């Protein structure tokens, strides 16, 4: 899962980003409305974490634009404004949830999990391919119900492939699932993650194959011969 974090206080933004990453969530930081608008144009985010008091305006003004680009994009507002009128106003503007600063990261993670559990065609609870299952809320893979421990990037690759299993996933889509805006992307790094992931899946006896579709991308499928 990739999050757009719109927050103008650098320390707060970096601390949140680090905390989210420790929990397997990728976060891009936008410090103002203008950069957030630009980031939303990429259409690669699964959740918007939105501060209200930004240097160039009210963060809430971003919600209509975000929804126009992606109708079911979940939005959690993060703000120092804690009055009842502000909270209700934020929800009326279309936010799915509201957290008043200061908040514990654990609470934010719980709210994110709650949003992911909501039914939506884009937020399936899990996907099963052969004896492999990926739990999208826990960001964990299981082979025959045994948890598969994977390094973060491999887990993100597998998550992206499981979300679209049976379909070819373009390289660019996989890159965007694995690297945020601050990462320097090396073109062969993705292939290295995929081959390590293949080895890990084979060692765990997962009955799946990751096929290379030359010049296009990758395809995750149940192994035909069992």
Q: Which is nearer to Ca ion, 80 or 147 (CB)?
A: 80
Tokens standing for residue 49: 């974490």
Minimum gap (Å) between residue 193 Cβ and Ca ion:
35
Which of these ranges, 19-27, 45-53, 105-113, 137-145, lies near Ca ion under the rule CB under 5 A?
Answer: 45-53
Assess 51 for contact with Ca ion (CB under 5 A): yes
- β-pair type (2-6, 26-30): parallel
Residue 202 near residue 188 (C-beta atoms within 8 A): no
Assess 53 for contact with Ca ion (CB under 5 A): yes
Minimum gap (Å) between residue 86 Cβ and Ca ion:
13
Which of these ranges, 46-54, 119-127, 155-163, 187-195, lies near Ca ion under the rule CB under 5 A?
Answer: 46-54
Which of these ranges, 53-61, 89-97, 146-154, 173-181, lies near Ca ion under the rule CB under 5 A?
Answer: 53-61
For 84-114, b/e burial (b = at least 16 CB within 10 A) is eebbebbeebebbbbbeeeeeeeebeebbee
Annotate 96-114 with three-state secondary structure. Answer: CEEEECCCCHHHHHHHHHH
Which of these ranges, 1-9, 85-93, 129-137, 190-198, lies near Ca ion under the rule CB under 5 A?
Answer: 1-9
Q: What is the C-alpha separation between 43 and 94, in angstroms, rounded?
A: 18
Q: What is the DSSP string of 49-116?
A: EEESEETTEEGGGHHHHHHHH-TT--EEEEES--SHHHHHHHHHTT-SEEEESS--HHHHHHHHHHHH
Assess 46 for contact with Ca ion (CB under 5 A): no
Q: Which is nearer to Ca ion, 51 or 96 (CB)?
A: 51
Residue 150 DSSP SS3: coil
**Residue whose tokens read 């909501």:** 118
Residues comprising the chain, all counted: 226
Q: Which is nearer to Ca ion, 17 or 193 (CB)?
A: 17
Among 1, 3, 4, 8, binds Ca ion (CB under 5 A): 8
Q: Which is nearer to Ca ion, 53 or 65 (CB)?
A: 53
- Expressed in angstroms, the distance from the first to the final Cα of the chain is 30
Residue in the shown chain whose Cβ atom is closest to Ca ion: 53
Minimum gap (Å) between residue 51 Cβ and Ca ion:
4
Q: Determine the size of the site formed for Ca ion (CB under 5 A).
A: 3
> Per-residue contact track with Ca ion, 151 to 170, x per CB under 5 A?
--------------------
Which of these ranges, 19-27, 37-45, 47-55, 118-126, lies near Ca ion under the rule CB under 5 A?
Answer: 47-55
Under the rule (CB under 5 A), what is the footprint of Ca ion? Answer: 8, 51, 53
């Amino acid at each position: 899962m990739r999050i757009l974090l719109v927050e103008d206080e650098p320390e707060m933004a970096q601390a949140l980003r680090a905390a989210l990453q420790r929990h397997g969530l990728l976060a891009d930081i936008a410090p103002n409305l203008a950069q957030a608008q630009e980031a939303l144009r990429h259409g690669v985010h699964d959740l918007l974490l939105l501060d209200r008091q930004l240097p160039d305006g009210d963060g809430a003004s971003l919600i209509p634009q975000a929804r126009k680009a992606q109708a079911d994009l979940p939005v959690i507002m993060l703000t120092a404004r804690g009055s009842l009128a502000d909270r209700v106003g934020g929800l009326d503007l279309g936010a799915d949830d509201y957290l008043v600063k200061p908040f514990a990261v654990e609470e934010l993670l719980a709210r994110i999990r709650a949003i992911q559990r909501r039914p939506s065609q884009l937020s399936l609870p899990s996907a099963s391919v052969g004896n492999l299952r990926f739990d999208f809320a826990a960001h964990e893979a299981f082979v025959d119900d045994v948890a598969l421990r994977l390094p973060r990037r491999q887990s993100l690759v597998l998550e992206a492939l499981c979300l679209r299993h049976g379909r070819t996933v373009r390289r660019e889509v996989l890159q965007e699932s694995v690297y945020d805006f601050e990462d320097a992307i090396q073109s062969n790094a993705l292939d290295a993650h995929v081959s390590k992931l293949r080895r890990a899946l084979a060692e765990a006896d997962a009955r799946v194959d990751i096929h290379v579709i030359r010049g296009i991308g990758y395809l995750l499928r149940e192994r035909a011969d069992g």
